[in-house]
Structure 1
Amino acid sequence: MSQRFTRSRIAIAATATIVVAALGTFGAIRVNASAPAHAEAQMAPEVDVANVLNRTVTDWQSYSGRLEAVDRVDIRPLVSGTIVSVNFKDGQLVNKGDVLFVIDPRPYQAEVDRTAAQLAATQARVGYTQSDWERAQRLIADNAIAKRDYDQKQNDAREAAANLKAAQAALETAQINLGYTKIVAPVSGRVSRAEITLGNIVSAGASSPALTTLVSVSPIYASFDVDEQTYLQYIGSARSGGSVPVQLGLANESGYSRSGTIASVDNRLDTSSGTIRVRARFDNADGALVPGLYARIKVGGGAPHPALLVDDVAIGTDQDKKYVLTVDAENRVSYRNVTLGQQQGNLRVITAGLQPGDRIVVNGVQRVRPGATVRVHIVPMTDDSDPNAEGANANASNTNGSKAAPVAQRTASKETNS
């Protein structure tokens, strides 16, 4: 009995061992079968992917130009003499009518006094000759005076009247020259340094050296040359009174800090360069804009229209073609030819090749090829022209539920880690 029980226990143990061995073998087969697929998924490269932006935009054209003052005056003396006063500091803001220089007025005051005395003598002469002629008119009616004497008195009266006008003109000229001894600002603006200082003798005339220069401050012009297509498409309407928006950026600015409008367009196109000169007008109440500065000009025109935009760094070049890499719903990469439009900040308008809702690779393009399967990391499309871009970047989440960093930030981080 005991031997039979022992053999039964041995048989049961053997059967259990066979079953366990079979289950282990089956599990090993399943693990070995799924291992290549899991390994392949782990080896797929990870890339940053962003959705194409769909936004209403206005087309802009960019140009380079220079700032110019609306009014620029070379201050020159209109009378000769010695400078006895300089009434401004270098670079000072002055108002129209402020006295800048004073030339010694004493010789010109003496001339005013002399011509005034001459005018008084002439006025007395006119009174005498007029009375003498009136008396001769009464005598000639009675034949009590010779015709020759009558004619002489008439001529003396007319000559005295003419001399009176000459004396009046001489006095007026002397007074004008006396006024020129005070050199005043013809416009409001910023004055340069005094080129000729106190005690120096200056001469009058357009060929004389300038005492200083004066430029108006606000508003200010920016002059630039535009091509024929831009003129025909956008700027031509300014001639008929249309308002063409313009934006201005300085050399130390990454964006465009000021807005203005087209003020004037030249009357002819330069056939040698195919451009036309345009002048835009900007407010400069703070005086930060100085004539002669380099200016980046952005000219806008046309009606706002919907457009697809992608980060400019995501666009690749294939000989003479532009392309992006798209990622479909199954995370497969595709090559897509695109046609580029205007640049909007760091985004580029895509006029053909993409559809709303497409996803493109924005970081890690060098690690993938068309047809490959990738691990997708969703990030927001970098957009420095969107005031809400930082908030959008902070709130965006990747597929794992973690917050996604902006494309530029993630790129810098990966470069640092490598």
Structure 2
Amino acid sequence: MGRVREVGMVCALVALMTLMTLAGCGPAEEQEAQAEVARPVAVLTVATEPLVLTSELPGRIEPVRVAEVRARVAGIVLEKRFEEGADVKAGDLLFQIDPAPLKAAVSRAEGELARAKAALYEAQARVKRYAPLVEIEAVSRQDFDSAMADLSAAQATTRTAQADLETARLNLGYASVKAPISGRIGRALVTEGALVGQGDATLMARIQQLDPVYVDFTQSATDALRLREALKAGNLSAGDSSALSIRVEGTEYESKGSLMFTDVAVDPGTGQVSLRGKFANPDGVLLPGMYVRVQAPQGMDDRATLVPQRAVQRTADGGALVLVVGEDSRAEVRAVKTGVMQGARWQISEGLKGGDQVIVGGLAGLQPGARVAPQQAQDQQVSRQ
């Protein structure tokens, strides 16, 4: 009986050790089995597409035309006939200067003209009488020559008087100060009762045409030269280089416009080239002096590679990495070189080729070398990422 009990205890001990061994090995085998399970990920197959390269440049709004409304005659301002900050049309009455002294000047000039015409009539009549008499020597040649000289002087005096009358009438018209251009008028710089035009042309108001408007901005001469070399080498195509867009800082306002010209000289102090764009402004949102960001085309890459921003990871030294589906359907790290951002996508200039499958979804916790089950991402999902 003792022998049987001893054999039973040994068997039980062996069974227990076997059970413990199986228990200790089970989790490791289970983890290894789980590690080999293919993880579903969303992938984007690399393909090329046209990409318009742009640069964001600082700019300022400038009015197309600016007119300074000035007093062209001296006098007292009797009335202001506009609302400050309103839109005015060319020819609208803005100020009324006291016309009384100017009307008196017109009357005086009319009197001088009438006197000159009377003298002219007398000189003409004298010459007309002397003309036949000088032929029969009833009047001396000297008297006739004097009559002709008096006629010429009377004609000159009449023309001078006529010009003085026209000047007086112009000055009377200038008493009604009108808008020289259509646009938005600012605040009045003079008030009723002010003496203007005394010695100089007093500035009374300023009108600015705000539709359309100009946007003046600058670009580095180095960037402009680099673009020209890329176009010459065929790495980029010109595309529509005159199309511009602007964004008002701190708002969602955007507007489309066109490039008018590029300056022919480089500022030696800043190394910048000046450019000017033209933008429609029917609502008057863009105001002179406003700071904007200009999106200026820098050519077109006809075979650009774009991947969602979230697919690109950065290293400590600033390098860019993406995960691609490698051999045996395993995640593989690929070093790439990024170009410009277009919305939520990075341009990849180096490191990817057509047909590569870039992992764009399911990246959380994904390690290089892990087995993956790629699923093609939908275009809408990719654009949101």
1:161 pairs with one of 150, 155, 158: 155
Aligned twin of 1:37: 32
The TM-score normalised by the length of structure 1 is 0.74
The answer for the alignment partner of 2:192 in structure 1 is: 198
Structure 1 residue 264: Cα displacement:
2.6
The aligned counterpart of 2:9 is none
Shift of 1:98: 0.7
Which structure is higher in RCO with an 8 Å CA cutoff and minimum separation 6?
Answer: 2
Moved more, 337-346 or 59-68: 337-346
Q: Distance in 1 between matches of 2:201 and 2:373?
A: 75
Q: Distance in 1 between matches of 2:141 and 2:295?
A: 85
Instruction: Measure the CA separation in 1 of the matches of 2:172 and 2:362.
Output: 76
Deviations 1:240-277 (A, max 9, x none): xx9611111111335x7211111233242212222221
* 1:248–1:258 Cα contact (<8 Å) kept: yes
**Counterpart residue identity of residue 86, structure 2:** Q
1:332 deviates by 3.9
**Which of the residues 215, 220, 225 maps onto 2:218?**
225
Task: Indicate conservation of the 8 Å contact 2:72/2:201, yes or no.
Answer: no
Matched residue, 2:66:
72
Quick one: which of 335, 338, 341 aligns to 1:340? 338
Q: How far off is 1:211 after superposition?
A: 1.3
Structure richer in strand, relative to its length: 2
Give the 3 Å change call, closer, same or farther, for CA 123–208 of structure 1 in structure 2: closer
The structure-2 alpha-carbon separation of the partners of 1:304 and 1:135, relative to structure 1 and needing over 3 Å to count, comes to farther
Q: Decide which of 100, 104, 115 is 1:106's aligned counterpart.
A: 100
Q: In the alignment, which residue of structure 1 is the partner of 2:296?
A: 299
Alpha-carbon contact 2:124-2:151 (below 8 Å) kept:
yes
1:311, distance to aligned residue in structure 2 (A): 3.2
For residue 266 of structure 2, give the secondary structure of its aligned residue in structure 1: coil
CA-CA distance at 1:231 after TM superposition: 4.1
> TM-score scaled by structure 2?
0.80
Q: Is the 8 A contact 2:44 2:357 kept in 1?
A: yes
Q: Is the 8 A contact 2:324 2:334 kept in 1?
A: no
Alignment match, 1:349: 347
CA contact (8 A) 1:248 1:257 kept: yes
Task: State whether residues 52 and 310 of structure 1, in contact with CA within 8 Å, keep that contact through their aligned partners in structure 2.
Answer: no
CA distance in 2 between partners of 1:324 and 1:97 (Å): 65
The match for 2:4 is none
- Map of 1:86-235 to 2, 5 A cutoff? 86-204=80-198, 208-231=201-224, 233=227
Question: Is the 1:324–1:361 Cα contact (8 Å) retained in structure 2?
Answer: no
Counterparts of 1:209 and 1:317, CA distance in 2: 65
Unmatched tracts of structure 2, length 5 or more: 1-14, 232-239
For residue 186 of structure 1, give the secondary structure of its aligned residue in structure 2.
coil
Percent identity for Structure 1 against Structure 2: 27
- Report the equivalent of 2:56: 62
